[in-house]
Amino acid sequence: MLISEIGKRGTLFTFQDGDSPMGGDTSVYLISGKERLYLCDTYLGIGSMKPIIDYIDRRYSEKQLVVFNSHSDFDHIWGNGAFPTSDVISHSKTRKRMQERWKFDYNRLSRFRDGEVIEKLPNITFNSNMKFEDDGIEFRYAPGHTACSSVCIDLEDSVIFAGDLIEEPVPVILSSDLITYYETLKSLMDMDFETLISAHSGVSDRTLLSKNIEYVKSLFLRERIEFPEGEDHGAHEFNVKHLVYLKYEDMAREPEGSGFNFDAFKKRFWEILGVGQDMMSIESKLMMDTPEEDFERAWREYCKE
């Protein structure tokens, strides 16, 4: 694990290849405010949080810890249970999406857990933003990567922890609303900050933010986008195909509103395509391998029922 000091009061913990069951880099961020500690995201389980807890116990044992979930993806929330007495704060949509997806994501992705995973949902939520004035900390809704994404802003150190909103070379897109994503990234560009942190690309700057803005714009306009083989690790190809799939999930969700049964839709939609639940561990690959016309066929069949 790489530990880096950021500004006057931030510590970035970066899990690198070999540090956890999931490859690649993923970072969580700790801010030591005057009154409280703020931990942005909790990675893959209680095991992954042990070195962070040890670090906190050695330096800040007297301070209350607040956990912030930047969004609801499994690799940012599965360690929440390591902090049984701490408040967990997120956007209201993050809590809702966590409830909706927890069982599905755990069943298909549990091979990535690091130690025990205890379901702990946020007990405090916000809609637009939430501030801790005495510590100069703000949590702000910033949809894009997911519809539930938010950022943590350290107003004193001029640092933004952006979660998965930005990534090198392109972000992974899990929400179909590209216009909102573009507007969110543009709003970040307009903010006054010195340091921008990506959960999977570490300390970054406006250059990457600008590249991601142009990428989302080009994707929305359906412009031809090409990368040298392997440079984007397949992210662009995944984004294109996932946006096709999301069209059908969104259409299924819209008439049912809050009564939408995510698990039931997933199960039936893939069953129509001849895919059982035992194959959901490779859903991303299946999605990329499924022709668009097969998604359309499955949707027509789903609508008949």
Q: What is the CATH number of the domain that holds 55?
A: 3.60.15.10
In a domain, 229, yes or no: no
Regarding whether 140 and 11 lie in a shared domain, the answer is yes
Regarding whether 170 and 130 lie in a shared domain, the answer is yes
Pair of tokens at residue 178: 């590209």
Regarding whether 260 and 182 lie in a shared domain, the answer is no
Residue 141 β-bridge partners: 150
Tens of pLDDT along 119-173?
999 999 999 999 999 999 999 999 999 999 999 999 999 999 999 999 999 999 9
Task: Measure the CA angle with vertex 99, ends 96 and 102; round to 5°.
Answer: 135
User: Given 191, 220, 249, which residue is the final one in a domain?
Assistant: 220
Regarding whether 122 and 55 lie in a shared domain, the answer is yes
Regarding whether 171 and 22 lie in a shared domain, the answer is yes
pLDDT for the residue 275: 96
For residues 246 and 283, the answer to whether their CB atoms sit within 8 Å is: no
Regarding whether 40 and 78 lie in a shared domain, the answer is yes
pLDDT for the residue 91: 98
pLDDT beyond 80 at 67? yes
For residues 124 and 143, the answer to whether their CB atoms sit within 8 Å is: no
In a domain, 77, yes or no: yes
pLDDT for the residue 281: 94
Q: How many domains does the chain have?
A: 2
Average pLDDT score over residue span 81-107:
97
pLDDT beyond 80 at 16? yes
Average pLDDT score over residue span 113-121:
98
Regarding whether 122 and 40 lie in a shared domain, the answer is yes
Regarding whether 247 and 196 lie in a shared domain, the answer is no
The order of strands in the sheet holding 129-132 is: 129-132, 137-141, 150-154, 159-161, 195-198, 202-204
Helices 235-256, 206-220: axis angle to 10 degrees equals 60
pLDDT for the residue 229: 79
In a domain, 96, yes or no: yes
In a domain, 155, yes or no: yes
User: Given 220, 247, 270, which residue is the final one in a domain?
Assistant: 220
Tens of pLDDT along 202-256?
999 999 999 999 999 999 999 999 888 778 889 999 999 999 999 999 999 999 9
In a domain, 208, yes or no: yes
Regarding whether 147 and 17 lie in a shared domain, the answer is yes
* 301 band by pLDDT with thresholds 50, 70 and 90: very high
User: Given 220, 246, 268, which residue is the final one in a domain?
Assistant: 220
Q: Print the domain residue range for 112.
A: 2-220
Tens of pLDDT along 41-60?
999 999 999 999 999 999 99
